[in-house]
Amino acid sequence: MPGKATGVKQVAFNKKAYHEYYILEKFEAGVELFGTEVKSIRQGNVNLKESYCMVKDGELFARGMHISPYEKGNIFNRDPVRPKRLLMHKREINRLYGRIKQDGLALIPLSVYFRNSRVKLELGLAKGKKLHDKRDVAAEKSSDREMERKIKERNV
């Protein structure tokens, strides 16, 4: 189609999710939004830090996802932290709901991006990390950085 943007443009990324959780599986969902919210997302005014997803009455919702009001939106702006309905097939939602209830996992938004001019949300089926796990990961990262630094010094 002429005039349509193609490809993927990442808008927001949830670094904290990778620090707090082990990501077991990733899913893509559409987001039901209003016009001013889409315009605000295009400007990059979205925050995923404290957000999570939940299943209610067979529908999937993202809660805590903050989309700042659009400056030129006046009366059409919506509540920035209202629950946003996510669009997935009923089969997928039921499967995710079963995994969440049975295994005690969480659904965490990982990133917001545009795919062919549509807003998409990447969800992660996640298991929480314990404090010692976070320390292990931090120690491993710092040792990797140290090794890279040593290799760089030798090659120069």
* Tokens 């830090």, residue located: 49
Closest CA to 86 of 139, 33, 138, 8: 33
Tens-digit pLDDT profile for residues 35-74: 778 888 888 888 888 888 888 888 888 888 888 777 776 7
Do 66 and 46 contact (CB within 8 A), yes or no?
Answer: yes
Overall domain count for the chain: 1
Domain-located, residue 43? yes
Domain-located, residue 32? yes
Identify the CATH number of the domain in which residue 95 sits. 2.40.280.10
Tens-digit pLDDT profile for residues 134-143: 888 888 888 8
CA distance 27 to 31: 13
Q: 38 is in which domain, residue-wise?
A: 8-129
| Phi, psi (degrees; rounded to nearest 5) at 70 | -70, 130
Domain-located, residue 135? no
Beta bridge partners of 87: 30
What is the pTM (predicted TM-score) of this model? 0.75
Domain-located, residue 50? yes
